[in-house]
Amino acid sequence: MLLAGDTFDRFRIEGKLGEGGMGLVYRAYDPMLRRQVALKVVRPEVAQTAVATRLMREGRAAASLNHPNAIGIFDVGTFNGIPYIVMELVSGHLLSAFMGDERVGMRQRLAWLAQIARGLDAAHRQGLVHRDVKPENVMVCNSGEIKLFDFGVVKRMSSLANISNATDPMEKTRTGIVMGTPLYMAPEQALGDAVDGRSDQFAWGTLAYELLSGGIHPTTTNNPRRLPVAFAILREQPRPLSEVASRLPDGVAAIVMKALAKAPSSRFATMAEIYSALDAIILRMDGASSRTTPTTPIQRVRRSRFRQLGLAAAALGLVAVVLFLSHIFGP
């Protein structure tokens, strides 16, 4: 493990940000570009294995994306036989930290889900299927933006309509090999069948179900036989989101449940359909809010002050009238 003050290639290590089974992520300084970056380095013990190939694939795949809702990739390389990726450094919290947080309003949750859908749609348009969409792979930045990251099991396609063709034979995962996190896998992914953007959509639906229900996973709502997660995803239908989440705006539950359809053909054709529908709901919420109450605390304070000033002015006017009448009709 690298320590603060160490150097790796041209990068100066400032501290560790996190670690996983295949590598570690450091905060580092790039003197060439004069900026701080996130440096993902493969563990030395796995540097010569397929794990290293996976990391390089992640870097090349994510580097093709140029979207505000996906982590930016600045560089991919190898130093002393150890592969690394240089990524955009962002500050914030993982989406998983907000799953049961009642302080996060409904509008904010829907806005986050729309941003995730936008990031996935951008990836799909580039012929990339993420295959590991989950709360731990989504960052809620302090700036308010959502960033999708960790493309470690990404699958590159030449066309989402022709999912059997891969642009790079070395990057094609063989059918029958299951990649991803079981809790968020689409049925076809759990079976090892071919996947496309609609498989990511199912994972998005699972994540959305959790976020909107306060952390309830759809598989846990209807699994009377206590099947393992992968089998429950294949066999059991989750309870409708409207039954486990209260005060949902009209249309939201239907969007999520359609994304969770067992058959890919029963889901939305693209993620663009999802974020367009969410945008319309958010716009409707904003319109209703502006017609009833101020939209921000500052506006509420200002409105209260205006009301107080109006009452004061009315009182002064009444006093003036009384004095005027007393002057005219007085003795």
The residue ranges of every structural domain in the chain are 7-87, 92-289, 297-331
CA distance 160 to 72: 23
What's the fold here for domain 7-87? Phosphorylase Kinase; domain 1 (3.30.200)
Q: How many residues in total does the chain contain?
A: 331
List b or e across 286-315, with b for residues whose CB sees 16 or more CB atoms inside 10 angstroms.
eeeeeeeeeeeeeeeeeeeeeeeeeeeeee
- Residues β-bridged to residue 42: 23
At 107, list the tokens: 């509008």
pLDDT 10s digits, 240-277: 999 999 889 999 999 999 999 999 999 999 999 999 99
Q: Report which secondary-structure segment, H or E, holds 319.
A: helix 297-329
40 among annotated binding-site residues: yes
Among candidate residues 74, 78, 28, 16, the one with its CA nearest the CA of residue 48: 78
Instruction: Report residue 226: phi and psi, to 5°.
Output: 55, 45
CA distance 193 to 265: 14
CATH code for the structural domain at 92-289: 1.10.510.10
**pLDDT tens string for the chain (331 positions)?**
899 999 999 999 999 998 877 789 999 999 998 999 999 998 888 777 776 777 677 677 778 888 999 998 898 889 998 989 899 999 999 999 999 898 999 999 999 999 999 999 999 999 999 989 999 999 999 988 999 988 767 777 644 433 333 333 333 344 444 566 889 999 999 898 989 999 999 999 999 999 999 999 998 888 887 878 878 888 889 999 999 998 899 999 999 999 999 999 999 999 999 999 999 999 999 987 766 554 444 444 445 554 555 555 555 565 554 454 455 555 5
DSSP string, 189-255: HHTT----HHHHHHHHHHHHHHHHHTS--GGGGS-TT---HHHHHHH-PPPPHHHHS-SPPTTHHHH
At 161, list the tokens: 């309509």
DSSP string, 258-314: HHT-SSGGGS-S-HHHHHHHHHHHHHHHHHHHHHHS-SSHHHHHHHHHHHHHHHHHH
Determine the residue type at 41. Answer: V
Among candidate residues 116, 125, 121, the one with its CA nearest the CA of residue 147: 116
CA distance 208 to 76: 32
Q: Report which secondary-structure segment, H or E, holds 123.
A: helix 106-125
Could you tell me if 127 and 167 are in contact, meaning their C-beta atoms sit under 8 angstroms apart?
A: yes
pTM greater than the 0.85 cutoff: no
Catalytic residue positions, numbered = 132
**Does 7-87 match 92-289 in CATH topology?**
no
User: Tokens 């000033």 — which residue?
Assistant: 309
Three-class SS state of 323: helix
